[in-house]
Each structure stands twice: as structure tokens, then as C-alpha cells.
């Protein structure tokens, strides 16, 4: 582990440095407009001319007027510290000092990022549970029934090549028109996305016991049920966790995309709102929140995996 | 009501037929392996048709497949334009740029152990993130045209491809590399003669995973803003007009494109890695 940390820190520092540098040409138009209003002479002097000039040419022609690049109100590319400030403002600050924050009202502020992250997390978790449950059931069915395998498996594989997310807005709107709204429609999309990785992984896992082990079950005259419970399911655990990691990430993407068509909260809604109102820092903050959520979820499954496999004596 | 009964009967008949085929004497034959999923698919579509008509499901909720087929046929030129906009311009260009960049980065990382140890955990982490979320930002930067879609696709395909290529490049054994050393092979000779061929299965795995990601990226990015064509645009505007048949027709187009795209890459893989264990006939 320590082998990885110094290079990782180095690469991250390099990325942040690049980010700070990239902020200058990305925001140069706005910066120069503000500088001009403040009375600084910039070349070329009119905004129209500047619009037709390349960003790099503007940067090198006006090195004296770039001071505000990292502190614009609505930058095209916010600097890292602006994103961190926005994150702080919409989480800690909003909850502690906001009128509707946790400290004053006892519940998470509807304007804070935590509230939206929680909405997304709920949809993700519900969808993940539904998708994983159905996926395991279908995999068990496929392993035990030849007809089911031959009928369903090719379609399960083909469905992996289809951009399922395209269905998301339709599912939301259709379920909405039937009267189902709130958590469930988003969870349906999440479930749909997490379903197939689990099916494919579990079919592989349930088939992983070799013929020697299956023969042993036969000599014990084990029933199909016993084979499933005592050999196939335990043997499939590593495969299950590998698919669960993919499934939870897919589930989160499903929940976020599911939040786009109906603006009822969640990180996806937050991103879309930010994009409508030009609040770039808000989009970035939501994005980082989503990334943190993904990291925590995948990490949690990894931790569960390590603990389970260790208890089962299967850890490497 | 009779239509619904008919649907149930059809289901029973299809399933029985499949059961006899799958457990019958010809169950190992290619024809049966092709016929069973086909019968299953056709049964499902027929049931969908019968139930939507039998139960009078409003077309704004679920149109029958025949309506979708008719809409698809009537709007072929429009759907073709959408296909060109989303798949060829947005997804394909992003796919090529993203995978090419990832491949070059992998070669670069490969020469430096420091970079590999620094970038690989980062790449693994990024590959699990919901990168579609960058779509609104990129649409803001690159405008509503296909360029912003291609940019989203580049970001989406880059990290999975990077991780796969790096894994592939470290696939050779010490013995094989030692052999190259005794031949006094240079780095580039070792690369082209040994390590790239050994990495091909991984590279193709990355290419296959990223086909779907590319389409997802291109379509979702269109939800955040697009010119007046494209599959994502068609889906979101047709939903607004409650023209569900057209939505489904667009989804069918996306599905066909996705399957064809994936099939094409698999075909290439079969040609390029015919020697690999996973491609040999048992």
C-alpha cells in the first residue's frame, strides 16, 4: 500500500496544478471583461474582438489583468478551491447556519447537498437491492433449468450491449403517468442497470464448483436444494462480490440519470439545475458528491467482500 | 379478454416448445441454440402485442410493438439522421479519440513505474465513478453540437480502456520477457512482437466494454442540450409530446446500433485473437 501512496500523491498534485493552470484560459473572456470594467486596459479593447481571439493569445496578451481568474462568480471552470468552498457552503455551512439546516430545523436542509445525496443514495440502494435480488433468483433459475438458460441467457448478454439508460426518461414518465412517483421509478432504473451484471456473474459463480465437488455431492446423495445451499452458493461468493461492485456503480448512474427528467431532488436534479442557471460550482460540487458516494459504496462492498471471504476461508 | 387468454396460451405453448427443444435429442445442435432464444423473444413480443391490445393499455403508457414497428418504418429518414448525429458523430468519434488516448497513455505509463503506480489506482477509481455527471459541464464548454457528446464519450471510455490496456501490457511472463532480452530485442521490438499481441485480449475486452459506455454517454449528453436531432433529443422531446411509439422507435434504433457496434468489435476480436484460449473451439 505504501508503495502506491507517494506516486499517487504526485500524480494528484500534478492534476491539481494542471487544473489551476487550465482555469486561466478557460475563464479568460469573463476575467478580461471584469478587468475592463474595473478600468484596466486590455488588448484587444472590445469584447466583440476578444470573442474572436483565441484563449491562449488573450492570456499571453493580458498577463497583467488575469488576477480574478480564480475568483469569478460564474466561471466556466471553477478553481478547485471554489469547488471546495461551494461543497463546504452547501453541506457544513448550510446545515449548521442555514435557516432550514440541521441545526435550526432538525432535518437536513432541502437546499443542502446532503439532502440531495441522501435522495440519490436511497434510490440507488433500493434499486441495487431489487436488482441484485432478482438477478440472483434468475441466475439460480438459469443454472437449474436448461430451457431458462437457453431462452434467457442470450438476451441477457445482448441486453448488455444496449444503452439501457436511454430508457430512463421513458420509465420515469410512464410510471409517473400511472401514478407511481418518488423513489420507485428511479429505483426501477437502478435495478435494471444492476440486474444484468449480477445475473451474468452469478451464473458463472454457481457453475464454478468443479466436477469433483459435484461428484462428492452426488455420493452424499445430496438433493438439488442441498447442492445449491451447501456448494453452489458458497462457491459463488467471490463472483457475487465482483458483480456487486459493478452493480452498485451502475445503480448510482441509473439513479442520477433517473433524476434528470423529474426535478424532484437528488444529485442528478442538482446537476441539471446547475447547468440551467450557469452555476458551475454547484455542478462540480454535485459531481464530487456523486464521486464520493460511488467511492464509499464500492469501498463498503469491498470491505464486506474481504470480511466475508475471510470468514469463509476463501481470502487469498 | 380473449386476447389476454390467447397471450397466456401462447406463453404456455412457446415455453412447452422450448422445453421440448431444449431437453430433446437435438439439444446440442446449433439450430436449437439459435431457435430457443428466438422463440422466447418472439413469444414475449407477441404477448406484449396481445396484452396491450386486449387490456386496452393507453398508447401513452405502452404502445403495442406493431405500432412501434410502423412508426419506425415511417420515420426511417429522421431516425437515420438521429443515428448519424448521435452514433456516428458523437459516439464513434469520441470512442476513437478516447480509446486512442487511453492506449497511448497506457504505453506512456508502461515506460515509467512511478506513473503506473500513481495513475493505476486513480484510473481504477475513476472507472467506477458516475462520469455521465460531467455531461452538463461539457455541454456548457463545447456547445450543443456533437463535439460536446464526443467529449463526454472520451471521458467515459478513457479510464476503463486505460485500466484494461495496462493490465494487458503486464500480461507477459518473466520467461517470455527474458527470451526477448536474449534476442537483444529493443523496447519497441518487445512491444510489437510480444507484449502487444499478449495484451490484445485485454484491449479487446476494453473495446467491448466501452462500446456500450460510448452510446450511453452520447445519448445522456443529449438530454442536457443538443441540436434538433439525435437519439437522446428524440427520446426526450417525444416523451414531452407523449409520442411513446416514436420514443420506442428511437430506443430500438439505439439498441440495434449498440448490438451492431458490439458485434463488429467482437468480430474484429475473433479475427485478431484467434489464437487465444477464449476464442478456440472446444
Report yes or no: A253 at the B interface, CB cutoff 8 Å.
yes
Q: 3-state DSSP call for residue A22?
A: helix
Give B-chain residues touching A274 at CB under 8 angstroms.
Answer: 136
Domain encompassing residue A37: 1-75
* A200 confidence band (pLDDT: 50, 70, 90): confident
**Per-residue model confidence (pLDDT) at position B1:** 74
- Tell whether A54 and A131 lie within a shared domain: no
Report yes or no: B199 at the A interface, CB cutoff 8 Å.
no
Is the pLDDT at B244 greater than 90? The verdict is: no
- Tell whether B52 and B157 lie within a shared domain: no
- Tell whether B104 and B187 lie within a shared domain: yes
Is the pLDDT at A132 greater than 90? The verdict is: yes
Does residue A27 lie within any of the structural domains? yes
In chain B, the number of structural domains is 2
The three cell numbers of residue B167 are 493490465
Q: How far is CA A118 from CA A114, A191, A296, B111, in A?
A: 6, 18, 13, 43
Is the pLDDT at B141 greater than 90? The verdict is: no
Distance, in Å, from the CA atom of A260 to the CA atom of A266, rounded to the nearest integer, reads 9
The string of pLDDT tens digits covering residues A227-264 is 898 899 998 998 899 899 889 988 998 888 888 777 67
Nearest residue to A165 (alpha-carbon basis) of A261, A298, A242? A261
* B265 confidence band (pLDDT: 50, 70, 90): very high
Residue with cell 492506449: B103
The string of pLDDT tens digits covering residues A133-169 is 999 999 999 988 888 888 888 888 787 777 777 778 7
Give B-chain residues touching A167 at CB under 8 angstroms.
Answer: 251
- Tell whether A24 and A168 lie within a shared domain: no
Nearest residue to B143 (alpha-carbon basis) of B227, B216, B86? B227
Give B-chain residues touching A165 at CB under 8 angstroms.
Answer: 132, 216, 219-220
Q: What percent of chain B has pLDDT over 70?
A: 98
**Per-residue model confidence (pLDDT) at position B155:** 92
Q: What is the mean pLDDT of residues B135-157?
A: 89
In chain A, the number of structural domains is 2
Q: Do B121 and A4 touch (CB under 8 A)?
A: yes
* B36 confidence band (pLDDT: 50, 70, 90): confident
- Tell whether A170 and A68 lie within a shared domain: no
Domain encompassing residue B30: 2-57
- Tell whether B38 and B81 lie within a shared domain: no
- Tell whether A210 and A271 lie within a shared domain: yes
Range 23-82 of A in CB contact (< 8 A) with B: 26, 76-77
Gyration radius (Cα) of chain B, Å:
24
CA angle A8, A10, A12 (to 5 degrees): 70
- Tell whether B157 and B258 lie within a shared domain: yes
Q: What is the CATH number of the domain that holds B201?
A: 1.10.3720.10
Is the pLDDT at B281 greater than 70? The verdict is: no
Is the pLDDT at B282 greater than 60? The verdict is: no
Report yes or no: B172 at the A interface, CB cutoff 8 Å.
no
Evaluated on CA atoms B238, B244, B248, B253, the torsion sign reads: negative
Residue with cell 457496434: B261
A171, A188 Cβ separation under 8 angstroms: yes
Does residue A193 lie within any of the structural domains? yes
Give me the DSSP letters along A176-228. Answer: HHHT--THHHHHHHHHHHHHHHHHHHHHHHHT-S-HHHHHHHHHTT--HHHII
- Tell whether B183 and B51 lie within a shared domain: no
Q: What is the mean pLDDT of residues B236-257?
A: 88
- Closest chain B residue to A298 measured between Cα atoms? B128
Does residue B29 lie within any of the structural domains? yes
- Tell whether B157 and B190 lie within a shared domain: yes
Q: What is the mean pLDDT of residues A31-56?
A: 78
Identify which of A7, A147, A280 has the shortest CB distance to residue B22. A147
**Per-residue model confidence (pLDDT) at position B280:** 66
* B93 confidence band (pLDDT: 50, 70, 90): very high
Does residue B64 lie within any of the structural domains? no
Give me the DSSP letters along A223-277. Answer: -HHHIIIIIIHHHHHHHHHHHHHHHHHHHHHHHHHHTTTS-SSSHHHHHHHHHHT
Exposure b/e, A188-199, CB count within 10 A at least 16 = b: bbbbbbbbbbbb
- Tell whether A161 and A20 lie within a shared domain: no
- Tell whether B86 and B48 lie within a shared domain: no
Report yes or no: B57 at the A interface, CB cutoff 8 Å.
no
**Per-residue model confidence (pLDDT) at position A315:** 67
**Per-residue model confidence (pLDDT) at position A157:** 78
Entry pTM: 0.84
Q: How far is CA A101 from CA A43, B84, B194, in A?
A: 47, 48, 61
Amino acid at each position: 500500500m505504501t508503495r502506491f501512496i507517494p506516486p499517487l500523491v504526485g500524480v494528484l498534485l500534478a492534476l491539481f496544478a494542471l487544473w489551476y493552470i487550465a482555469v486561466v484560459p478557460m475563464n479568460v473572456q469573463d476575467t478580461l471583461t471584469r478587468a475592463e470594467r474595473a478600468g484596466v486596459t486590455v488588448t484587444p479593447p472590445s469584447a466583440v474582438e476578444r470573442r474572436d481571439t483565441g484563449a491562449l493569445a488573450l492570456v499571453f496578451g493580458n498577463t497583467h489583468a488575469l488576477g480574478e481568474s480564480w475568483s469569478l462568480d460564474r466561471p466556466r471552470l471553477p478553481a478547485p478551491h471554489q469547488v471546495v468552498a461551494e461543497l463546504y457552503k452547501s453541506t457544513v455551512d448550510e446545515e449548521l447556519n442555514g435557516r432550514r439546516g440541521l441545526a435550526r430545523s432538525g432535518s437536513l436542509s432541502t437546499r443542502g447537498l446532503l439532502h440531495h445525496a441522501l435522495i440519490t443514495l436511497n434510490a440507488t440502494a433500493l434499486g441495487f437491492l431489487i436488482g441484485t435480488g432478482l438477478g440472483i433468483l434468475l441466475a439460480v433459475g438459469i443454472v437449474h433449468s436448461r430451457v431458462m438458460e437457453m431462452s434467457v441467457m442470450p438476451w441477457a448478454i445482448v441486453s448488455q450491449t444496449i444503452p439501457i439508460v436511454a430508457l430512463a426518461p421513458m420509465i420515469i414518465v410512464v410510471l409517473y403517468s400511472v401514478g407511481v412517483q418518488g423513489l420507485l421509478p428511479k429505483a426501477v432504473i437502478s435495478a435494471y442497470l444492476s440486474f444484468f451484471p449480477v445475473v451474468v456473474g452469478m451464473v458463472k459463480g454457481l457453475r464454478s464448483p468443479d466436477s469433483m465437488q459435484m461428484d462428492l455431492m452426488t455420493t452424499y446423495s445430496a438433493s438439488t436444494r442441498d447442492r445449491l445451499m451447501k456448494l453452489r452458493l458458497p462457491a459463488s461468493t467471490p463472483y457475487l462480490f465482483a458483480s456487486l461492485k459493478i452493480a452498485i456503480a451502475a445503480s448510482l448512474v441509473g439513479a442520477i440519470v433517473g433524476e434528470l427528467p423529474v426535478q424532484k431532488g437528488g444529485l442528478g436534479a442538482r446537476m441539471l439545475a446547475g447547468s440551467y442557471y450557469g452555476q458551475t460550482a454547484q455542478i462540480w460540487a454535485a459531481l464530487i458528491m456523486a464521486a464520493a458516494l460511488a467511492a464509499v459504496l464500492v469501498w463498503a462492498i469491498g470491505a464486506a467482500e474481504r470480511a466475508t471471504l475471510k470468514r469463509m476461508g476463501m481470502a487469498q | 379478454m380473449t386476447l389476454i387468454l390467447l397471450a397466456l396460451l401462447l406463453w404456455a405453448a412457446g415455453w412447452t416448445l422450448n422445453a421440448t427443444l431444449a431437453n430433446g435429442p437435438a439439444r446440442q445442435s446449433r439450430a436449437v441454440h439459435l431457435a430457443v432464444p428466438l422463440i422466447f423473444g418472439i413469444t414475449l413480443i407477441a404477448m406484449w402485442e396481445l396484452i396491450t391490445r386486449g387490456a386496452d393499455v393507453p398508447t401513452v403508457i405502452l404502445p403495442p410493438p406493431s405500432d412501434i414497428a410502423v412508426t419506425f418504418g415511417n420515420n426511417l429518414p429522421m431516425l437515420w439522421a438521429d443515428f448519424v448525429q448521435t452514433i456516428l458523430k458523437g459516439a464513434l468519434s469520441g470512442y476513437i479519440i478516447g480509446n486512442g488516448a487511453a492506449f497511448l497513455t497506457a504505453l506512456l505509463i508502461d515506460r515509467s513505474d512511478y506513473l503506473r503506480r500513481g495513475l493505476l489506482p486513480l484510473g481504477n477509481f475513476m472507472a467506477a465513478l458516475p462520469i455521465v455527471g460531467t455531461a452538463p459541464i461539457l455541454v456548457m464548454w463545447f456547445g450543443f453540437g456533437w463535439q460536446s457528446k464526443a467529449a463526454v464519450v472520451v471521458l467515459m471510455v478513457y479510464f476503463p480502456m486505460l485500466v484494461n490496456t495496462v493490465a494487458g501490457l503486464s500480461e507477459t511472463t518473466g520467461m517470455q520477457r527474458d527470451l526477448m532480452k536474449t534476442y537483444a530485442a529493443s523496447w519497441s521490438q518487445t512491444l510489437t512482437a510480444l507484449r502487444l499481441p499478449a495484451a490484445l485480449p485485454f484491449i479487446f475486452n476494453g473495446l467491448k466494454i466501452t462500446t456500450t459506455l460510448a452510446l450511453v454517454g452520447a445519448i445522456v449528453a443529449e438530454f442536457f442540450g443538443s441540436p434538433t436531432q439525435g437519439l437522446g433529443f428524440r427520446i426526450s422531446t417525444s416523451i414531452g409530446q407523449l409520442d411513446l411509439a416514436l420514443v420506442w422507435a428511437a430506443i430500438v434504433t439505439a439498441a440495434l446500433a449498440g448490438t451492431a457496434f458490439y458485434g463488429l468489435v467482437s468480430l474484429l476480436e475473433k479475427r485478431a485473437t484467434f489464437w487465444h484460449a477464449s476464442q478456440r473451439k472446444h
